Amino acid sequence: MEKIAVFPGSFDPFTVGHESIVNRASKLFDKIIIAIGLNPKKDALFTLEERKNFIRQVFEDNPKIEIVHFEGLTVEFCKRVGAGYILRGLRTSADFEFERAIAQVNKSMHKEIETVFFLTITEHTPINSSIVRDIYRHGGDISKFIPSKMKLNKS
Ligand code: ADP
């Protein structure tokens, strides 16, 4: 059976931390669906189309990667697309506490879906989209925090 994993997130914007997780997971799964969750509580800096385009640029040569968006519960989305795994990244103990609760609740809702955690590589530990957004908003250079293939051309 095809091993399909969903990597859910806001990806506002996609960073080298996200890229690294997808590349590492790519060795373990047949297909990875990068799923941009639409969260009405979060005000995004980049539009959905911009975020999708950024991610497309990064993985244009990787046929295992699909990029979509979804609304609602991640586990329900996984069931719809036939995914058995949810990918998440862990940077700190704060990430762990947050992710533990979500993964355990997801497991209690759908016990056939496993959450798989990737511990970030050391140099990506401090990188998160919200810091990258702040640097970008203030005109700083974010090139070292985003994948080299990703070109931002927001006006
Ligand atoms: P969310 O709003 O779901 O937290 P994000 O786009 O911020 O969405 O993150 C998506 C996933 O990527 C989360 O599991 C997060 O922990 C992980 N992640 C974010 N930044 C990094 C990083 N620098 N290294 C490893 N994992 C990361």
Check which CATH number belongs to the domain holding 10 and give it.
3.40.50.620
- CB of 9 closer than 6 angstroms to any ligand 1 atom: yes
Domain count along the chain: 1
Examine residue 153 and state whether it is found in any structural domain, yes or no. Answer: no
Residue 155 has pLDDT above 70, yes or no: no
Q: Helix %, strand %, coil % for the chain, to 5? A: 40, 20, 40
Q: Catalytic site residue 100?
A: no
Q: Look at residue 40 in the predicted model and tell me its pLDDT.
A: 80
Q: Which residues does residue 6 pair with via DSSP β-bridges, in sequence order?
A: 33, 86
Residue 9 has pLDDT above 50, yes or no: yes
Least confident span in 7-16, 42-51, 71-80 = 42-51
Question: What is the pTM for the complete model shown?
Answer: 0.95
What six digits make up the tokens of 129?
């989209």
Which residue's CA lies nearest to atom 23 of ligand 1?
17
Q: Catalytic site residue 24?
A: no
- CB of 127 closer than 6 angstroms to any ligand 1 atom: yes
Q: Look at residue 53 in the predicted model and tell me its pLDDT.
A: 97
Which residue's CA lies nearest to atom 3 of ligand 1?
9
